[in-house]
A and B are shown apart, each in its own frame.
Chain A
Amino acid sequence: MSRLPSLKRKQPDSGPSSVALTDHERILYNVIRSKRDMGIWTRDLKRESNLADNVVNKSLKSLEGKKLIKEVVNIQNKGRKHYMAAEFEPSKEITGGDWYSEGILDVDFINIVKDQCLKHIFRQKVATFDGVSEWIRKSGIFKAEITQQQIEEILRALVLDNEITEVKSTGFGEFASVPIGRVCYKCTSKSGHKGEPKAGAMASVPCGVCPRISLCTPDGIISPGTCVYYEKWLDF
C-alpha cells in the first residue's frame, strides 16, 4: 500500500475492501487514516467522529483486531492513547526522532555513539566529519545503521558538551593532513579523558553554585556565617 496520503476527505470505500467494516468502524478508520503518520488521540477521535464513547471503544478494539490500526506512543503525551493506521510509520513528531526508542530517549545508545566518536577523534588528534563517518561505517561497531545526520548531531552535541572543539585547519602540525580552512574536530581536554571542564572562579566557591544566593544577606537567616554550604566547604 502506498505511503502517500489519501486526502482528508475520504471516499466511503477508501478502506481495504477485503475486510468488512461496520459503519462506525469505517468512520473511525477514515478519520484515523486521514491523520497519516501523525495518528490521533482518542479524545480528538471521539470529537471528530461524533460517536458515543462506548461505540468508539468497541470499534477501536475491533479495528485493532483486524490489524487495520495500531496504538502508538506519542512522545509529547505518553499517557494519552494514540492510534494510527497500520500502514503508516509514526512520524518524528510522534516518536521523538531517531534517538528515541519506544517513546524514551535512548540515552545509553547516544552515550555509546558519543564515546566511540570521542575516542576516534582523540586517537586521530584531529578529525573531519567525513573521517568520523567513514570510520563508523567501516568499523562495524554499531549493528544499527547510523545516518550521516545522526553523526552530525552527535558531533554537535559533543561540541556543546565541550568534549570536542570545532576548529579550522591551519594546515600546520597536527592539521597537516587536513586542507587549510576545512572544519575539523579536536578533543578539548588534552588528556583525552572525558570529564567536566575546569571550574571557573565563581563555580569553585559555594556562592557560585548556591541556589539561594538571592536570599543571602550579611545579617539574614541565610548569611555567610550561617551558610551550610560554607560549613561543608570549610570542613577540614
Chain B
Amino acid sequence: MVTQNGIKFAVHLITNHFGNLVSKVCENLLKRGPLSLEKLVKFTELTKEQVKNSLLVLVQHNCVQAFTFDEGDDREGAKAITEYVALFDNIIHRLRFPKFLEIVSQELDDECVELLEGLLRDGRLTLKQMVDRASQGKENPVAMDFVQENLRKLLAVRYVERCPDPEPFVSKPVKEETTRKRGAKSAKTDVVPRQTMEQLIMEAAVLGEGIRFSLPSNTESNADGETNADGSPMIIDGTSQAESTLWRANFEEFIRRLRRKALIENVRARLDDGAAVILSAILESTKTAEKKVKMENSVPMSLDTIFTEVMKTEFGRTMTIDRVRASLIQLGCPSRMLEDSYSIDLKNVLELARNEEVESIVLKRYGKDAYRIFRLLSKAGRLLETDKIADSTFVEKKDAPKILSRLWTDNYLHMEKLALSTTKSFLLWKVNNPVLRVHVLDEMYHAALNLSLRMAFEQEKDEELLTIPKDKIVGPIQKRYKRLRNVWLLLGSSLMKLDDALMLFHDF
C-alpha cells in the first residue's frame, strides 16, 4: 500500500538524490500510476529530452521500470505502447543502503562491500564498469577475475542479481484494469491497483532463478580456466556477453535478511535467548527454501533436525532436547506435533511487534489510561461498549468516553452507535487493524520525511560551521559545532530506527 505521505517521502528522497527535474517525473509516476513518455511530457511540462533523461536516471537507479503492452483491437493490428512505472519500494530502499552495506560487511569481506557500494551508488553496472571502478585511484588496474570472484561471492548469497528484463511485455487485461482504476478520483482506490500493477510488471520482468544469480557461461569457463591454470590475464573478449550484462543489488534478499533479523530480535525481546537461537537456527537452515519475502510460517522441520541445527551454535550447545521442545512451544508450536514437524508462525511474531509499536504511540500520545483501553480493544478484536471498557480498564466512567473519542477522532479507533430508542443509545468501539495499520504507516512516512527535512534545516542553519577548518573550532564555535554533531547523530539514528518500523509495517 502506498499512502500519500509515503509518496511525499519518496519524492523527497529522489529530490535529495537526483534533483528537481528527476523528482518531478518521479512524482507524476507515483501519483498518477504508469505513464507513457508523451503523457509524462504533458503532465510535467518539461521537454521530451528532459523527461527522457530523467527516466534514464530513474531506470539506472532501479526506481522506474519500463514495460510494453498492446493497445487497440487485436484484429485491427495491435500497437505496442511503452509505459513507465515508478517502483515505490525501491525508492524507499535508498534510505536503507547503509543497512545493506552493514550486512555485507558482517558476512563477507571488504572487497565485496566495495563492490556493493559501487552498485548501490551507480545503480547498475557491467563487470567492466566494476573493474574500472575498483581500479580508480590505484596504481595497477585491478584484475577482472578478482572483481569477478567478488561478484560470484555476492551472487552466491543472492545479494546481487542480474538486472531484470528492461522492457517486459505485459498482457492486456492488466492494462485495462489499471486504466479503469486510474480514472477513479479517490486517492485511496488509486493506491491499491498501482501496487498490484507494479508487482505484475516486476513479475514479468524478473529473470528465471537460474540465470538471475549466475555469471554468463563464457565468463564462467574463462574464470575456471584462470583458477586452474593460474595464468594468462586475457579473460573476456570484446564480444562477450559479460560485457553487456548489467548487475545490481538485489534488494529483495536484503529485505529478507533484515526480516529474519527482526523476527529473531523480536523473539529475543519477548521470550528469551533460547527461543531466539532456535528461531535463528531454523531460519538459517531453511533460508534457501524461502520463496517470497513475506513468508507466513517457517519451513516445517522435525525436532531432530531442529536440534541438529541448534547444536551448531555456541549457545545452542548448552540446550537439551527438552529445552528446545519447551522453547518451540513458547514460540507457538502445539505441544504435540503430527509427524513431528515444527513450523513457527512468523506472521504472528511480526504482528505482535506491530501491535507493540502502535501501542507505544498510544501510550506516549494519549497516556496510560488510553494505553490500557487500546490494548483491551486490540486484544478483544470486537466491538465493546463504553461502560464495559471503563470497568475492565479501571478508568473513571466519566473519563472513558473522552479518551475513546480522542482516539476515535485521531483514527485510532472505530466507533459504532447503537440506538435503542430515540433517547437512549450506546457507543461501541473497536480497533480496526487493517485501517489503523495504513494510518500509522502513513504517519510514520510523515515522521521520516520530517526527520529528513529537519536534518537539512539544521545543516542549512549552521552551514558555515562545516567550512571552518578543524583547528579553528574553539570557544563558542566549538559549542555550536558539538551541538550540530549531536543533532545530526540523534536525527540520523532516529531516522534509521524509524525506518526499521517502516519495514516492519510495509516490507515484512
Contacts and interface: CB of A to CB of B under 8 A. Distances in A.
Interface of A: 75-76, 96-97, 99, 104-105, 107, 110, 153, 156-157, 160-162, 167-168, 170-173, 175, 180-181, 196-205, 207-211, 213, 216, 218, 223-225, 227, 230, 233-234, 236
B483 A202 contact: no
Given A160-B372, A201-B501, A207 B446 contact: yes
Given A180-B335, A201-B498, A224-B450, A99 B394 contact: yes
Contacts of A107: 394
Interface of B: 322-323, 325-327, 329-330, 335, 356-357, 359-361, 363-365, 368, 371-372, 375-376, 379, 391-397, 440, 443-444, 446-447, 449-451, 453-454, 457-458, 482-483, 486-487, 490-491, 494, 497-498, 500-501
Nearest to B8: A218
Contacts of B327: 170
Contacts of A161: 368, 371-372
Contact of A157 (B393, B457, B494): B393
A148 B359 CA distance: 29
Contacts of A224: 449-451, 453-454, 457
Nearest to A235: B483
A150 B507 CA distance: 43
A192 B335 CA distance: 29
Given A153-B392, A162-B375, A234 B490 contact: yes
A170 B443 contact: no
Given A224-B454, A225-B454, A211 B360 contact: no
Contacts of A180: 335
Given A172-B326, A203-B361, 6 more contacts: A172-B322, A198-B360, A199-B363, A201-B498, A203-B357, A224-B451
Smallest CB-CB A-B distances: 6 pairs: A172-B326, A207-B447, A200-B360, A170-B326, A201-B501, A200-B357
SS class, residues of chain A in contact with chain B: loop
B501 A207 contact: no
A207 B361 CA distance: 10
Nearest to A198: B360
A236 B329 contact: no
Contacts of A209: 361, 364-365
Contacts of B396: 104-105
B490 A202 contact: no
Contact of A202 (B375, B379, B440, B487): B440
A218 B379 CA distance: 37
Given A107-B394, A173-B323, A181-B335, A203 B372 contact: no
B54 to A, nearest CB: 22
A113 B368 CA distance: 18
A171 B328 CA distance: 12
Contact of B360 (A170, A175, A197, A218): A197
Contact of A96 (B326, B359, B397): B397
Given A170-B330, A202-B443, A213-B443, A208 B392 contact: no
B360 A199 contact: yes
Most buried by B among A99, A104, A199: A199
A204 B361 contact: no
Given A105-B394, A161-B368, A173-B323, A205 B486 contact: no
A227 B393 CA distance: 34
A213 B453 contact: no
A203 B487 contact: no
Given A197-B356, A216-B450, A236 B375 contact: no
Contacts of B323: 172-173
Contacts of A162: 359, 371, 375
Contacts of A236: 482-483, 486-487
A202 B482 contact: no
A204 B497 contact: yes
A202 B361 contact: yes
